[in-house]
Amino acid sequence: MNIRSQITTTVKEIVSDIYDTTLDSVEIQYTRKEFDGEYTVVVFPMLRQIKGNPVQIGEAIGKSLVEKVDEIATFNVVKGFLNLVLTDSYFIQAMTSIAEQPTFGYVSQQGEDAVLVEYSSPNTNKPLHLGHVRNNLLGYSIANILKASGKKVYKTQIINDRGIHICKSMVAWLKENEGKPVSEQDTPEITGKKGDHLVGEYYVKFDQAYKIEIQELINEGKTKEVAEKEALILQEAQEMLRKWEAGDPETVALWKKMNSWVYKGFEETYQTMGVDFDSYYFESDTYLLGKDIISEGLEKEVFIKKGDGSVWCDLTNEGLDEKLVLRSDGTSVYMTQDLGTAVQRVKDNPDVGGMIYTVGNEQDYHFKVLFSILKKLGYTWSQNLFHLSYGMVDLPSGKMKSREGTVVDADELMQEMVTTAKKISSELGKLEGYTEEEKNSVYKTIGLGALKYYILKVDPKKRILFNPEESVDFQGNTGPFIQYTYARIQAILRKAKEDGQDIYQVPTIELQDKERELLKLVLQFPEIIQQAAQDLSPAQIANYTYDLVKSYNSFFQNISIFGAQNEAQTQFRVTLSSIVGNTIKNSLELLGIAVPERM
């Protein structure tokens, strides 16, 4: 039984003995920094069942707790708050246990039900951009946190590889390359460009040509609305889509070729970003899924067919609208596809008991509708669906637009972060004495760590104004500040090993306040993981880590490690440093952030 559970059980017993009443629950919080103590029992809620002065009730419970629980040294009561001070021996025993656990805070898999986490979900007409960076980092981190909390997790994505958008890139590519010898056509190998970048450039070229045609038609006297529809290049893209859907061999071959370029480019980006997937779904495979579900829903009267043959779901009782799920001509809409994909994923992974969709907040309504329909259809796992909705990422320069080629490319952004890390590290002289190879490795670790931390420390629901320079600051709530503290701890441990210290041995000493404060924070790590998993919020892990690092730096500046009064104190502080370093490493790992051994 952990100490919080022990306190809860004992308080209930004490209240039953003294006041002859049964408490349904006991509210326990971490003690606020300005007061003595580790845990605080909140007395006020008890007043519903116990009549009396909250201070007197707190005093009575506190006195009895000290007698009954060996780990409680003393207590103090502030108004209706009973603050409990734990013994040094409790902390030393806990620290001994933590020192033996390399992944302290992580929980092994509990149960067989899996959670499927979807993230990334790019289009094949353009490379990944800054918005995708937030999406990928969030989804990947959530998957890590859920796994550390004891869940079985599958990571997946759906790639939007069909539709008018990729046909636009294909038309533009054909216009420029048709008739050229194969050896002269624009390919990633010949141009030296990443495949996703090359296809993205043709998407921009299509839009540029489309705008020119529209203006020419307007100059001929057409309205803008008519011109947009009559532009020949758009009609070519629409015809190409019809050919693709009809299975025209040449069109399908070009589609496969250009998409293959994009997939290779995506994989390079994912590798640099440090994210991966267990499975991939492709819209070209899934867009026909769902039609059987519509038929099943019509039989169950979940859906209604209107006079024109279109099929709808009435969600007005759920506070939503009527939703089209199949067009009058029998073709699918996005909702049809999403229904089919969700069901298919459970068929592919029968142990899936819930899904998390990492998608921007502009799709909030779509997911309310999707989840409501799946519940109406009676799928048991539909009770465990969650839309991890996140805000947009803004830049000081303004909003991004894919068609105009003004997006912040993910590859360029990551390279810029590494370059910024190099510039700032060089100015600060952080890496003197390193080889060029060692320096470049550290620059990458710092740059990508800065990017990931800056994005993940913000609550997912909030918009982010991303500032690369600010994110690589070595002071404040930043990735480099945390990484630097970890590297400092590793330097301490190297010196300790040279001096013959055992970094896993925990001697019995009288704790200083700074040591106690650090241990209190380390011991909170398992609860932080569970809470972050429950709330699907990597920000809780990030900001906990920052608090832990601040506490360690305060300890480091105020308490001497190697100049301690005796060997036992030095040994204790070395082991404490080791435990803190390991907790920093484990928490950053949940965020997908690497740590440098030297910096």
- Give the residues across from 394 on adjacent strands: 465
**pLDDT confidence bin for 429, thresholds 50/70/90:** confident
- Max CA distance (Å), the chain: 94
Q: Percent of the chain scored above 90 by pLDDT? A: 83
Of 475, 468, 478, the residue nearest 542 (C-alpha) = 478
Cα 288 to Cα 494: distance, rounded to the nearest angstrom: 59
Cα 50 to Cα 580: distance, rounded to the nearest angstrom: 42
CA-based R_g, the chain, Å? 30
Backbone φ and ψ for 337, nearest 5 degrees, come out as -60, -45
Tell me what pLDDT residue 425 has.
83
pLDDT of residue 403 exceeding 70, the answer is no
Tell me what pLDDT residue 465 has.
87
Cα 407 to Cα 430: distance, rounded to the nearest angstrom: 33
Of 320, 284, 326, the residue nearest 305 (C-alpha) = 326
More confident residue, 95 or 431: 95
Cα 38 to Cα 36: distance, rounded to the nearest angstrom: 7
Cα 81 to Cα 79: distance, rounded to the nearest angstrom: 6
Of 575, 584, 585, the residue nearest 94 (C-alpha) = 575
Cα 349 to Cα 167: distance, rounded to the nearest angstrom: 32
- Give the residues across from 153 on adjacent strands: 115
Q: What is the DSSP letter of 403?
A: T
Of 145, 109, 370, 153, the residue nearest 279 (C-alpha) = 153
Tell me what pLDDT residue 503 has.
83
Q: Chain centroid to CA 156: how far?
A: 14
Of 238, 236, 218, the residue nearest 227 (C-alpha) = 218
Hey, how many other C-beta atoms are within 10 angstroms of the C-beta on 427? 8
3-state secondary structure 284-309: HHHCCCCHHHHHHHHHCCCCEECCCC
Of 407, 465, 474, 427, the residue nearest 447 (C-alpha) = 474
pLDDT of residue 402 exceeding 50, the answer is no
pLDDT of residue 558 exceeding 70, the answer is yes
| DSSP of 348-359 | H-TTEEEEEEEE
Give Cβ neighbours of residue 584 (< 8 Å, ≥ 6 apart).
482, 485, 486, 489, 545, 548, 549, 595
- One fold for both 3-86 and 413-590? no
Cα 201 to Cα 194: distance, rounded to the nearest angstrom: 11
Tell me what pLDDT residue 505 has.
87
218-227 mean pLDDT: 95
- Single-letter code of the amino acid located at 128: L
Cα 201 to Cα 156: distance, rounded to the nearest angstrom: 27
Tell me what pLDDT residue 400 has.
41
Read off the tokens for 126: 């353009």
C-alpha angle 379-385-391 in degrees, rounded to nearest 5 = 155
Residue found under tokens 């480099």: 480
Tell me what pLDDT residue 397 has.
64
Report whether CATH 3.30.1360.70 matches the domain 3-86.
yes
Comparing 337-341, 407-411, 491-495, 556-560, the range with the smallest average pLDDT is 407-411
More confident residue, 403 or 369: 369
Pair 346, 379: CB distance under 8 Å = yes
pLDDT, tens digit, 9 for 90 and up, residues 62-83:
999 999 999 999 999 999 999 9
pLDDT, tens digit, 9 for 90 and up, residues 91-138:
999 999 999 899 999 999 998 999 999 999 999 998 999 989 999 999
pLDDT, tens digit, 9 for 90 and up, residues 562-598:
999 999 999 999 999 999 999 999 999 999 999 998 8
Q: Which CATH superfamily is domain 413-590 in?
A: Isoleucyl-tRNA Synthetase; Domain 1 (1.10.730.10)
Comparing 172-176, 292-296, 471-475, 535-539, the range with the smallest average pLDDT is 471-475
Handedness of CA 273, 162, 368, 352 (dihedral sign): negative
Residue found under tokens 């906990």: 544
Give the mean pLDDT of the chain: 93
| DSSP of 228-276 | HHH-HHHHHHHHHHHHHHTT-HHHHHHHHHHHHHHHHHHHHHHHHHT--
Read off the tokens for 312: 């709808």
Residue found under tokens 């539909």: 382
- Domain residue limits, the chain: 3-86, 163-275, 291-331, 413-590
Tell me what pLDDT residue 405 has.
46
At 178 the three-state DSSP class reads coil
pLDDT of residue 431 exceeding 60, the answer is yes
pLDDT, tens digit, 9 for 90 and up, residues 234-255:
999 999 999 998 999 999 999 9
343-352 mean pLDDT: 96
